[in-house]
Amino acid sequence: MDRLHGKVAIVTGGGNGVGKEHALLLASEGAMVVVNDLGENAESTASEINNSGGKAISVQGNVAEWETGERLVSAAIESFGDLHILINNAGMLRDAMSFSMNEKQFDEVIAVHLKGHFVCARAAAVYWRKQAKSGTESPRRIIHTSSESGLFGGPGQSNYASAKGGILTLSITLGRELSKYGVTTNVVAPRARTGLTDYIQSMAAPEDPEDFDIYNPANVSPFVVWLCTDEAQEINGQAFIVGGSGIWWMRNWSHQNSVKLDAERWTLDTIDSHRFLLFGEMETGLPKFEAPPFS
Ligand SMILES: NC(=O)c1ccc[n+]([C@@H]2O[C@H](COP(=O)([O-])OP(=O)(O)OC[C@H]3O[C@@H](n4cnc5c(N)ncnc54)[C@H](O)[C@@H]3O)[C@@H](O)[C@H]2O)c1
């Protein structure tokens, strides 16, 4: 309890699902929370926190709009005096195979996820940089929300997978820019039964309420909230799959092998003749979908 006493957090999409659980756990650890969502559900999470002795306010707004990021950061500062933690979580799906997807489906998903994550991070970065420059140093945290679709590519989700993949690189980029101001930025890909996934039969709650509910969204929050504590200061630019009783630490693109000529340009023929040196016996088809087994 109280590992986050005195900290101020924003949770986007905190009206439901995983974001709501993050907000509740942050508050129960002593953080003051700005709960964002599109509608009334932001207020219901904030009320739940206030009714159980915590401190929260709600700010409705679409994270895809530039001014929402600024309103969220201003609300945190005006209501609670500072901002330490930003949990970028808001999201939705507009699934379709690439050959069936329309422009609106593509644009909406990129806007809410990729732009929405940036909009809030940018507004926080403006404030944190100003604070650091005026000599007020404090640990700051951004936790972004990706997806296994973003890590591995998900058929039927070229909009969502691109946005979630972009968020992985956005996180590292923000880390490179902002770590000098005390900011760490990490990504979590949750697995949970929420409004987004409740159509998936295999994620249903267990029949016996005594059994561990693997897909309960509250299972994702302890690691997310732990990343927000001062103890996690050295963890930066990392990505994790989190759900059930598992935490999987993931790695990004890495160097496989290389070939180099001696100060001359490649031709198609020299590429042919070096092909084996580059690829050898290695697997060159689509990367495996290496989602960890869940239980
Ligand atoms: N549930 C999973 O297994 C899973 C898997 C991978 C990734 N995710 C990601 O986790 C995050 C949370 O999703 P969830 O599963 O809790 O779903 P959810 O539908 O229960 O919650 C998402 C919340 O975001 C809000 N939201 C949507 N668009 C918004 C916008 N433009 N501005 C502000 N709020 C907005 C919704 O109103 C909703 O309350 C999302 O980013 C999602 O892509 C979830």
Edge to edge, the sheet with strand 140-145 lists 55-60, 32-37, 8-11, 85-87, 140-145, 183-190, 239-243, 246-250
What was the pLDDT predicted at 295?
A: 57
- Per the annotation, the verdict on 147 as an active-site residue is yes
What residues of the chain score a pLDDT lower than 70?
294-295
Q: Candidates 11, 12, 16: which one to mutate for ligand 1, based on the most atoms within 8 Å of Cβ?
A: 16
Catalytic residue from among 162, 164, 171, 221: 164
From residue 103, give the alpha-carbon distance in Å to each of 63, 96, 158, 295: 20, 11, 12, 38
User: In the chain, what are the domains?
Assistant: 8-250 (3.40.50.720)
CA of 91 to the centre of ligand 1 (A): 4
Q: Could you tell me which residues come within 8 angstroms of residue 121 by beta carbon, excluding any fewer than 6 positions away?
A: 69, 86, 88, 142, 144, 170, 174, 185
- 248 forms beta bridges with 241
For ligand 1, whether the C-beta of 16 sits within 6 Å is yes
d(CA 175, CA 236): 7
For ligand 1, whether the C-beta of 194 sits within 6 Å is yes
d(CA 267, CA 66): 47
What was the pLDDT predicted at 274?
A: 97
- 235 forms beta bridges with none
Give backbone dihedrals phi and psi of 231, rounded to 5 degrees, phi first: -65, -20
65, 24, 63, 59: which is closest to 41 by C-alpha?
59
What was the pLDDT predicted at 188?
A: 98
Query: Does the CA dihedral 47-229-233-162 come out positive or negative?
Result: negative
Asked whether the whole model's pTM tops 0.95, one would answer: yes
CA-nearest residue for atom 28, ligand 1, is: 91
What was the pLDDT predicted at 96?
A: 98
What was the pLDDT predicted at 149?
A: 96
CA-nearest residue for atom 25, ligand 1, is: 13
For the chain, how big is the Rg over CA atoms in Å? Answer: 21
CA of 70 to the centre of ligand 1 (A): 20
- Per the annotation, the verdict on 164 as an active-site residue is yes
- Per the annotation, the verdict on 28 as an active-site residue is no
CA of 288 to the centre of ligand 1 (A): 26
If phi > 0 it is left, if psi is from -120 to 50 it is alpha, else beta; for residue 258 that is beta
What was the pLDDT predicted at 33?
A: 99
DSSP-assigned letter for residue 15: T
